């Protein structure tokens, strides 16, 4: 059996990657979880509750902030593959918590790389680093493998540090370490404070009369959005190659937040202009205006092809969130619309 360790297992990407690896009978999947007073495991509940996976899915307490917990974990599990998907991943929040973000995203990756380097002394191990299109920041589009980085947030600076450390561990210690520069990737499992999910959930709640307005920031920002379920396959493919390398994973299309709003609301027969309002608090001190990735290397060398386009993605998210809103309405007993989703504060 192959043992894979995933940091960030409770997140969107971690849960899709776990699904993908478990669909292959040769994998045992280990997830790193942080201790929290309330459990945040809804994205992996379908796995933990499935008796078929009882022997092939294991959760372990550790923390990217705690080097000794990572070394212990590495010794216990002795993974063949390590996927570093754990992060404080919200760009806007990284301006409020820059040092925490740098520690978890930047130095946290170093702590993990050190633990992997120790393990690599006694067995082969392959490492995947979740790098981000945010590292390109203000570099003009299209962003290719040759485009120089210009990060625009504490999150992006920390990701860039981790990216270069991954490359350095490959060059200095001959570690099989790959970095996937993933452009935005979304799904029904996306956190509710990221723009796509905020829009699909907000629109669905508006449609069901649970919410009156959707309060947004910069609608002119443009992103290259794909489906997270497609992107985790690229992560895995990178670790199956003969030699380690870095790749961009993207759709090669860019759309504005405004276009995403239009597509979502029109799918629900609504006009977003009637519901969307602006609030300064959703603006970032420095914005990334346009991201447009060139995935040609991943397609050519990995044979990677996405299966879901933007319209398919919007449809998948809207259908999911409409169902969620209907259940919410049923569970609450409908009393009257609130002015905004109370749980969306960022």
Ligand X SMILES: C[C@H]1O[C@H](OP(=O)(O)OP(=O)(O)OC[C@H]2O[C@@H](n3cnc4c(=O)[nH]c(N)nc43)[C@H](O)[C@@H]2O)[C@@H](O)[C@@H](O)C1=O
Inter-CA distances, 296 with 14, 144, 153, 237, 249, Å: 25, 9, 27, 15, 9
Question: Applying CB under 6 A, does 89 fall inside the site for ligand X?
Answer: yes
CB of 202 to ligand X, least distance (A): 9
Is residue 132 part of the annotated active site? The answer reads yes
**Strand locations in 8-70 (E):** 27-33, 57-61
Question: Applying CB under 6 A, does 282 fall inside the site for ligand X?
Answer: yes
Which residue is catalytic, options 16, 83, 134, 187? 134
What's the distance, Cα to Cα, between the start and end of the chain in Å? 42
State which of residues 30, 152, 170, 198 lies at the interface with ligand X (CB under 6 A): 198
Q: Count of residues binding ligand X (CB under 6 A)?
A: 22
Query: Quick one: which segment of 67-75, 127-135, 171-179, 235-243 binds ligand X (CB under 6 A)?
Result: 127-135
CA distance 150 to 157: 9
- DSSP for 180-244, written as a single string: EEEPPEE-TTS-TTSHHHHHHHHHHHHHTTSBS-EEES-TT-EE--EEHHHHHHHHHHHHTSSS-
Is residue 134 part of the annotated active site? The answer reads yes
Whose Cβ is closer to ligand X: residue 198's or residue 207's? 198
Whose Cβ is closer to ligand X: residue 115's or residue 195's? 195
CA distance 295 to 221: 21
Question: Applying CB under 6 A, does 221 fall inside the site for ligand X?
Answer: yes
Both tokens of residue 337? 């619309």
CA distance 85 to 13: 7
Question: Applying CB under 6 A, does 91 fall inside the site for ligand X?
Answer: yes
CB of 127 to ligand X, least distance (A): 18
Tell me the per-residue interface mask from 158 to 197 with ligand X, x by CB under 6 A, - otherwise.
-------------------------xx--------xxx--
Question: Applying CB under 6 A, does 73 fall inside the site for ligand X?
Answer: no
Residue 130 pairs with which residues in a beta bridge?
180
CB of 290 to ligand X, least distance (A): 9
Question: Applying CB under 6 A, does 217 fall inside the site for ligand X?
Answer: yes
Tell me the per-residue interface mask from 132 to 161 with ligand X, x by CB under 6 A, - otherwise.
xxx---------------------------
Residue 290 pairs with which residues in a beta bridge?
222
Bridge-based pairing state of the strands 222-223 and 255-256: antiparallel
Query: Quick one: which segment of 172-180, 231-239, 266-274, 280-288 binds ligand X (CB under 6 A)?
Result: 280-288
Both tokens of residue 70? 């990572």
- DSSP for 56-76, written as a single string: TEEEEE--TT-HHHHHHHHHH
Instruction: List the catalytic residues.
Output: 132, 134, 155
Enumerate binding residues for ligand X (CB under 6 A).
Answer: 89, 91-92, 132-134, 183-184, 193-195, 198, 216-218, 221, 223, 257, 282, 284, 287-288
């Amino acid at each position: 059996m192959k043992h894979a360790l995933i940091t960030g297992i409770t997140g969107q990407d971690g849960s899709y990657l776990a699904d993908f690896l478990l669909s292959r009978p040769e994998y045992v999947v280990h997830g790193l979880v942080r201790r929290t007073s309330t459990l945040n495991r809804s994205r992996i509940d379908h796995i933990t509750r499935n008796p078929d996976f009882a022997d092939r899915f294991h959760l372990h307490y550790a923390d990217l902030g705690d080097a000794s917990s990572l070394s212990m974990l590495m010794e216990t599990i002795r993974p063949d593959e390590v996927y570093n998907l754990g992060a404080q991943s919200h760009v806007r929040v990284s301006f409020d918590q820059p040092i925490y973000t740098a520690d978890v995203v930047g130095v946290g990756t170093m702590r993990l790389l050190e633990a992997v380097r120790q393990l690599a002394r006694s067995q082969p191990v392959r490492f995947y680093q979740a790098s981000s299109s945010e590292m390109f920041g203000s570099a003009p589009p299209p962003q290719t493998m040759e485009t120089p980085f210009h990060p625009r947030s504490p999150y992006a600076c920390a990701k860039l540090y981790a990216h270069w450390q991954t490359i350095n561990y490959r060059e200095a210690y001959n570690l099989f370490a790959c970095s996937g520069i993933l452009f935005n990737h979304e799904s029904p499992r996306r956190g509710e404070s990221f723009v796509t999910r905020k829009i699909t959930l907000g629109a669905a709640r508006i449609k069901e009369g649970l919410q009156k307005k959707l309060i947004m920031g910069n609608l002119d920002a443009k992103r290259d959005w794909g489906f997270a379920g497609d992107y985790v396959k690229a992560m895995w493919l990178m670790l199956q190659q003969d030699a380690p390398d870095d790749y961009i994973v993207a759709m090669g299309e860019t759309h504005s937040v405004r276009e995403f709003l239009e597509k979502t609301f029109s799918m629900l027969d609504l006009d977003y202009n009637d519901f969307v309002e602006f609030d300064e608090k959703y603006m970032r001190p420095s914005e990334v205006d346009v991201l447009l990735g060139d995935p040609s290397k991943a397609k050519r060398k990995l044979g990677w092809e996405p299966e879901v386009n933007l319209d398919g993605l919007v449809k998948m998210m809207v259908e999911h969130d409409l169902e969620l809103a209907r259940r919410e309405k049923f569970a609450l007993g409908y009393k009257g619309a609130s002015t905004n989703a109370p749980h969306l504060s960022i």
